Amino acid sequence: MPIKLSCTTNPNINDKSGLSFAQCSYCYTIQLDEMIPLSILYSESHNYTSVGKVWENYFNLFCMSIQDIVNNKNVLEIGDPSAKIATKLNNYNKWYIIEPNKNNNIILKNNIEFIEGFFDNNFHTDKKIDVIIHSHLFEHTYDPNNFLKKCNDVLVDNGEMFFGVPNMEYIATQEISPFLGVFFEHTIFLNKDNIRHLLRANGFDIIDIIDYENHSILFHARKNTTSLYGETIIHNFYDSFFITLNKYNEFVNTCNEIIKGADKKVYLFGASYNTQFLLALGLHEEKIDGILDNSTDKQNKYLYGYDLKIYSPEIIMNNDSIVILKNGYYCDEIKKQLLCINPNTIIIE
């Protein structure tokens, strides 16, 4: 697999490494056991913007849920290059964002302050932090226990934390991503049960859990003074891991059969990890004419690890094409868009 999920202007950069998985003998959580150094993995951002109605509605719900929590408070947000949440809210006292790849093209309010770096054991602050916020960040952590302990240390007594994670259990049960969605960036398979356990074990009481469709799960927690190691409900996703992988291998074989004699241009949708998965599993790169993606930040670049240029989906408007669509939760939204651009598009899904 390519070691990064970024987009690049140089198609010849293709550092790769094998994905190595392990499973906890106690809670059965599946996770990576070999990591890419953070300084390499996140040497540049690929997440300045989030595109589409699904993400728009997610951030609207996230912001609506925390407005009362952040009123007149000092907030520390972990991991957001573009201040997507802070700029939607108001009435907070001070909003700090720790992030290694700030988007320098945005204009910030006076009470938003960036701290360039990683939230790790080297991070220290003398600021009074009332609330910690992070969105689709927890699944990226290399040591979830250490991360939560650090959050607990930074917060004032009875401080609160609000965060969102992808619904990885839905990904597993619906078989919409190989490896249960775990790869170099999403290092651990998270679900409600193991997140509950992690929070309680690291000094947090759970106030509320909110489901956003089948896309994300939002957690609201409060710092307490004790760590609780209660009985853990154990679900083993070992079989799902291999069932989904086998189905993806079958899908790749089907795609290769269809495109080997195709007389139309063939595109993959999404400059994302699902595309990297398909190519790593053997999808014939030489038969692919490019990658379609709605993010203008990615267009006219190359997906890291491959000599495949990224285009706006509008390129298929006057060009009847084949599009390979394997984008998990977003497939319905994307399919509707592609057929609106060109009803003659052949979609392999």
Q: CA dist 219 to 65, 192, 196, 204, 236, Å?
A: 10, 9, 9, 11, 22
Helical residues (DSSP H) of 226-310, grouped into ranges: 238-259, 273-280
Select the more confidently predicted residue: 64 or 13: 64
Confidence of residue 59 (pLDDT cuts 50, 70, 90): very high
pLDDT the model gives residue 232: 66
Residues forming a β-bridge with 209: 219
pLDDT digits (tens, 9 = 90+) for 177-226: 999 999 999 999 999 999 999 999 999 999 999 999 999 999 999 999 77
**Number of residues assigned to the chain:** 349
CA distance 336 to 8: 28
Confidence of residue 45 (pLDDT cuts 50, 70, 90): low
Q: What is the mean pLDDT of the chain?
A: 93
Residues forming a β-bridge with 164: 135, 218
Confidence of residue 230 (pLDDT cuts 50, 70, 90): low
Find, among 128, 98, 93, 129, the residue nearest to 114 by Cα. 98
CA distance 135 to 59: 9
Contact 161, 218 (CB under 8 A): no
pLDDT the model gives residue 83: 93
Q: Which amino acid makes up residue 240?
A: S
Question: Is the confidence at residue 46, as pLDDT, over 70?
Answer: no
DSSP annotation of 180 reads G
Q: How many CB atoms lie within 10 A of CB 211?
A: 12
Beta-sheet pairing, 21-23 with 30-32: antiparallel
- pTM: predicted TM-score of the whole model, two decimal places: 0.91
Q: Give the mean model confidence (pLDDT) for residues 41-64.
A: 84
Beta-sheet pairing, 112-115 with 94-98: parallel
Domains of the chain, start order: 7-223 (3.40.50.150), 261-348 (3.40.50.720)
Contact 163, 169 (CB under 8 A): no
pLDDT digits (tens, 9 = 90+) for 135-192: 999 999 999 999 999 999 999 999 999 999 999 999 999 999 999 999 999 999 999 9
Find, among 192, 132, 121, the residue nearest to 163 by Cα. 132
pLDDT digits (tens, 9 = 90+) for 290-319: 999 999 989 999 999 999 999 999 999 999
Q: Give the mean model confidence (pLDDT) for residues 219-244.
A: 84
Q: Classify burial at 276, counting beta carbons within 10 Å of its beta carbon; exposed 0-12, middle 13-18, buried 19 or more.
A: buried
> How far is it between the farthest Cα atoms of the chain?
66
Question: Is the confidence at residue 264, as pLDDT, over 90?
Answer: yes
Question: Is the confidence at residue 115, as pLDDT, over 70?
Answer: yes
Question: Is the confidence at residue 337, as pLDDT, over 70?
Answer: yes
Confidence of residue 105 (pLDDT cuts 50, 70, 90): confident
CA distance 308 to 268: 9
